Structure 1
Amino acid sequence: MGKKVGVLLSGCGVFDGAEIHESVLTLLNLDKAGAEIVCMAPDMEFPVVNHITQEATGEKRNILLESARIARGEIKNLKDVQASDLDALIMPGGMGAAKNLSDFADKGTDAVVLPEVQRILQDMLSAGKPVGAICIAPATLTKALGDKNPEVTIGNDMNTASALESMGARHFNCNVDMVHVDEKNKIVTTPAYMLGPGIKDIAAGIEKLVNKIVSMA
């Protein structure tokens, strides 16, 4: 097999978990690149959002179990994955990346990153292994790695960009079909559905991100 690339999922669905299109496009392009895919997610509960009304349902589900839907059952508990097991790591977006992997969606710059997510991101960077972050996922990445002053893009949303900069990032405006590469930290980001508008539009940037991550691994 080729490079071992982790895909860190945060549930299943744009409003409370991993964005499904972004996740599937990541998996598709990793498979095309000949990578060995290691899906993972934290084992914890999260509040569910009705994806038709975008309102909270009042129920809770488990991030690992929901993420397993995208991974077709082939998934690891994040706490059992070490940076030494991987050659690279990619975080798809979706609100789960900013609600479940951290609480950036609620707390903004005061966000706290889930300890297991903080650990894997810091360990990947310390080992000089590349990390990709899609859509809103750079917010959680920045909060975890702000002391490294990562270069990232979330597209061109000024409020989100300024929040990232106040957490230590350097933000670069990008179109949906572009990636930004932080050569020093080996971080690659693309706006995806922060810009959209559709699946064919986000596909171009995600393909570039995956290929760049695989080539850097």
Structure 2
Amino acid sequence: MHFLLQIQNDTVAKATGAVIEGAVNAKEVSVLEFVFKGGFFIIPIALLLFYTFYVIAERYFYIAKRSKIDSNLVRDIRDYLNAGNLEMAVSVADRANTASGYVLREGILTIGRPISEIETNMERAANIEVGEMEKKLGHLGLIAGIAPTLGFIGTISGVIKIFYSISQTEDISIGNISEGLYEKMISSGAGLVVGIIAYSAYHLFNGKIDAFVLSIQKQVLDFVNIIQRPNGKTK
């Protein structure tokens, strides 16, 4: 009796070990392999993801550099203008190497003309800088709409695959259904992730550009106030 119980225990242990080993082996799938089980539409979604990261990195460094506001820039320009040294004022604006420096430089170069003309010239310069900052941001907005759509198409593809498999095999089994289901879930999830990244970056960059526009408007106002001083030194 004891011998029979021992055999049963060994059999149960082996069966349990086999199940556990099978479960472990089933889980030994890399993330990359799992993602690419999402079907064909994972490829364009992955390409959109890489391009999204490229645009985010490129725009981040460009906007961070050009939108930098030096609080001392207007003050330094004012000192040189009050001293009647337009050349040094232009040099200070150039050395800033920022969008605000470029805008103020355009204002300095038009000193002596009507105030409305100076303001218009500076506004045009600011619009040019804003346009440069907004380059490729439209791509992020487009990706935010395209990526989830591609994921949805992958979902439809997975559903079609399920019904096609059932029509060919006439076997409504969990295997036939799950194969198409995980494919569509992977592609849909990937598309949504890429869309969220692009959408978030698009609005964050636009928010940073809006903050720059507000700051440059304040600097333009300060500059106009400087050249309108009644002492005539900056005229």
Which of the pair has more CA radius of gyration?
Answer: 2
Which is helix-richer, 1 or 2? Answer: 2
Which is strand-richer, 1 or 2? Answer: 1
- The TM-score range, normalised by the shorter chain, is under 0.3
- TM-score normalized with structure 1 length: 0.24
Q: Greater relative contact order: 1 or 2 (C-alpha under 8 angstroms, separation 6 or more)?
A: 2
